[in-house]
């Protein structure tokens, strides 16, 4: 048996809507009805006033920072344990990233570490809802209010996740989503910004489309970007959003099975869902500890040989050579994130996974782990 880490869930609407856009030749990022429809429906799904499509999660993050005018001399506190796109976006703006370590349980940003890192230059907190579980947002928002900081949510992995009944992307100033092929919903490549403030929406819409002038189009209003999502991609997005409830329900079923059947294995640390949150279980992420610590490479190799795919966790910001060399961070700065980066990996978590496949993953995990202890 071969079990992949995950594939997108498509139905007939994805191709129907794309064909519809194609036959109307509404293919660019400026034409067609699917872009405004995707934005409107995604904003409604997140509970925000507006949403702006972009070409990727990375461009969403960059555009969020540009929209909030965060630039050289400004410091942004960001969760070290993330996809490096989070940090690249800060650096594109010439701002200075400050790495914040994770909580050991969830691997999300630890809000207790924020205040000691705040200086007169701090402008924003960039939280990352890692693996589909939202950050403990109340303390983050309280600190942000106290110090007059923006809050940006990197919700690339967390479409539909909840914290105290509020959806990811609706708590901070701007939410950033990815629709890359392995995300909760996908447009192949793509992204979205969510916000309540109409000024941010207008600025993001202008900047993402070369900041064309409102009078003479070619008298530009600012230094813009081409970060447009195409109408063809938005057509896929509308179809995907139409099945997000089913996707999220399948993810919960997948996670519940692993939670039950992988429990109690010595050396295997399972993910937890905190009481105030509703995780979307983007990927089922486990960590090795105790007698299994340091054995991830062998465990993953043996799983692969048995047809079970897995992927290593992110290497955090503080362990990236390109950033250490530039003096932006030191390896020892975020020990919890470093440990996750060394010991963590995710196992097959797709929406299409069957119970038979999950049973196979569990049996292979148990066998591989028992020979390694
Ligand atoms: C947490 C996080 N942030 C940002 C990104 C970047 O998104 P994209 O690949 O769409 O640029 C990803 C995933 O790829 C991610 O997982």
Give the pLDDT confidence of 312-357 residue by residue, as tens digits: 999 999 999 999 999 999 999 999 999 999 999 999 999 999 999 9
6 lies in a domain?
Answer: no
Does ligand 1 have an atom closer than 6 angstroms to the CB of 133? no
pLDDT of residue 31: 92
Residues 6+ apart with CB under 8 A from 179: 57, 185, 186, 187, 188, 189, 190, 191, 192, 233, 237, 240
**Residues 228 and 263 both lie in one domain:** no
First CA to last CA distance, the chain? 25
Residues 302 and 266 in one domain: yes
Candidates 4, 38, 3; CA nearest to 18 is: 38
User: Would the pLDDT of 10 be above 80?
Assistant: yes
What residues make up the domain containing 91?
A: 12-100+107-242
Domain termination site, one of 191, 226, 242: 242
Residues 6+ apart with CB under 8 A from 19: none
112: CB partners within 8 A, 6+ apart: 139
Distance (Å) of CA 283 to CA 58, 112, 252, 333, 350: 19, 26, 11, 26, 8
Give the C-alpha separation, 35 to 64, whole Å. Answer: 19
* DSSP assignment string, 194-262: EES-HHHHHHHHHHTBTT--SSSTTS-SS---B-PPPHHHHHHHHHHHHTHHHHHHHHHHHHHHHHHHS
- For the segment 71-99, what is each residue's pLDDT rounded down to a tens digit? 999 999 999 999 999 999 999 999 999 99
* 56 Cβ closer than 6 Å to some ligand 1 atom: yes
Structural domain count of the chain: 2
235, part of any domain: yes
Residues 359 and 308 in one domain: yes
Q: Confirm or reject: Cβ of 85 under 6 Å from ligand 1.
A: yes
Whether 116 and 196 share a structural domain:
yes
Find the largest Cα–Cα distance for the chain.
71
Q: What is the mean pLDDT of residues 50-77?
A: 98
pLDDT for residue 371: 84
* Closest to 127 measured CA to CA, from 147, 151, 149: 151
Q: Are 197 and 175 in contact (CB under 8 A)?
A: no
Residue at 1 is within a domain: no
The answer on 184 and 36 residing in a single domain is yes
pTM: 0.97
User: Is the CB of 55 inside a 6 Å radius of any atom of ligand 1?
Assistant: no
Residue 27, Cα to own-chain centre: how many angstroms?
27
Q: How far is the CA of 368 from the centre of ligand 1 (A)?
A: 31
Spatial CA neighbour of 46 closest among 144, 129, 139: 129
Give yes or no: residues 141 and 216 share one domain.
yes
Q: Are 151 and 21 in a shared domain?
A: yes
186-218 pLDDT, tens digit per residue, is 999 999 999 999 999 999 999 999 999 999 999
Cα of 192 to ligand 1 centre, how many Å? 11
Per-residue model confidence as pLDDT tens digits over 89-135: 999 999 999 999 999 999 999 999 999 999 999 999 999 999 999 99
- 178/41 same-domain check: yes
Q: Are residues 213 and 227 in the same domain?
A: yes
Confidence band for 179, pLDDT divided at 50, 70 and 90? very high
Is 138 found in the same domain as 270?
no
Distance 178 CA to ligand 1 centre (A): 6
Atom of ligand 1 nearest to the CA of 157: 16
**Residue with CA closest to ligand 1 atom 10:** 57
Instruction: Compute CA 330 distance to the chain's CA centroid, rounded to the nearest angstrom.
Output: 24
Per-residue pLDDT of 288-306, as tens digits, reads 999 999 999 999 999 999 9
For residue 188, how far is its CA from the centre of ligand 1 (angstroms)?
12
Q: What single DSSP character describes residue 351?
A: T
Residues 38 and 54 in one domain: yes
Q: Is residue 4 part of a domain?
A: no
Query: Is residue 62 over pLDDT 80?
Result: yes
| Domain-located, residue 2 | no
Strand partners, 365: none
CB of 154 within 6 A of ligand 1: the answer is yes
- Give the domain CATH number at 56: 3.40.640.10
CA of 320 to the centre of ligand 1 (A): 17
Point out the domain boundary residue: 226, 242, 258.
242
The DSSP code sequence of 50-75 is EEEEES-HHHHHHHHHHHTT--TT-E
User: Is the predicted pLDDT of residue 373 greater than 80, yes or no?
Assistant: no
CATH code at position 287:
3.90.1150.10
| Nearest-CA residue for atom 5 of ligand 1 | 57
Mean pLDDT, rounded, of the chain? 97
Q: Is the model's pLDDT at 372 over the cut of 90?
A: no
Residue that is last in its domain, among 194, 226, 242: 242
Residues 60 and 86 grouped into a single domain: yes
Residue 336 CA to residue 323 CA, distance in Å, equals 18
362 Cα: distance to centroid of ligand 1 (angstroms): 28
Return the sign of the alpha-carbon dihedral for residues 126, 127, 128, 134: negative
């Amino acid at each position: 048996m071969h079990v992949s880490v995950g594939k997108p869930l498509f139905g007939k609407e994805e191709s129907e809507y794309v064909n519809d856009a194609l036959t109307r030749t509404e293919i660019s990022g400026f034409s067609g009805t699917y872009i405004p429809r995707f934005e409107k429906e995604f904003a409604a799904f997140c509970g925000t006033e507006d949403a702006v499509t972009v070409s990727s999660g990375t461009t969403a993050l960059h555009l969020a920072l540009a929209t909030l005018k965060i630039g050289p001399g400004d410091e942004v506190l960001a969760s070290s344990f993330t996809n490096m796109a989070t940090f690249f976006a800060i650096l594109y703006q010439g701002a200075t990233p400050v790495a914040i370590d994770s909580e050991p349980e969830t691997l999300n940003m630890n809000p207790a570490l924020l205040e000691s890192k705040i200086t007169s230059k701090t402008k924003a907190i960039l939280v990352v809802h890692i693996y589909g579980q939202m950050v403990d947002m109340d303390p983050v928002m309280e600190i942000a209010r106290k110090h007059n900081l923006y809050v940006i949510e990197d919700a690339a992995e967390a479409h539909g996740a909840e914290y105290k009944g509020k959806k990811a992307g609706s708590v901070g100033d701007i939410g950033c989503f990815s629709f890359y092929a392995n995300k909760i919903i996908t447009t192949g490549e793509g992204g979205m910004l969510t916000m309540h403030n109409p000024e941010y929406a207008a600025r993001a819409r202008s900047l993402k489309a070369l900041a064309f002038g409102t009078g003479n189009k070619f008298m530009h209003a600012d230094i813009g970007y081409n970060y447009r999502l195409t109408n063809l991609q938005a057509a896929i997005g509308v179809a995907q959003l139409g099945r997000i409830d089913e996707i999220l329900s399948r993810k919960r079923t997948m996670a519940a099975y692993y939670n039950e059947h992988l429990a109690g294995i010595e050396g295997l640390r399972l993910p937890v869902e905190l009481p105030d949150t509703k995780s979307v279980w983007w990927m089922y992420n486990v960590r090795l500890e105790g007698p299994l610590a340091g054995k991830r490479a062998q465990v993953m190799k043996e799983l692969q040989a048995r047809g079970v795919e897995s992927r290593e966790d992110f290497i955090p910001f503080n362990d990236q050579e390109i950033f250490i060399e530039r003096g932006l961070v030191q390896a020892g700065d975020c020990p919890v994130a470093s440990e996750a980066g060394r010991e963590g990996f995710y196992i097959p978590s797709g929406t299409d996974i069957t119970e038979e496949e999950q049973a196979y993953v569990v049996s292979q995990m148990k066998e591989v782990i028992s020979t390694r202890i």
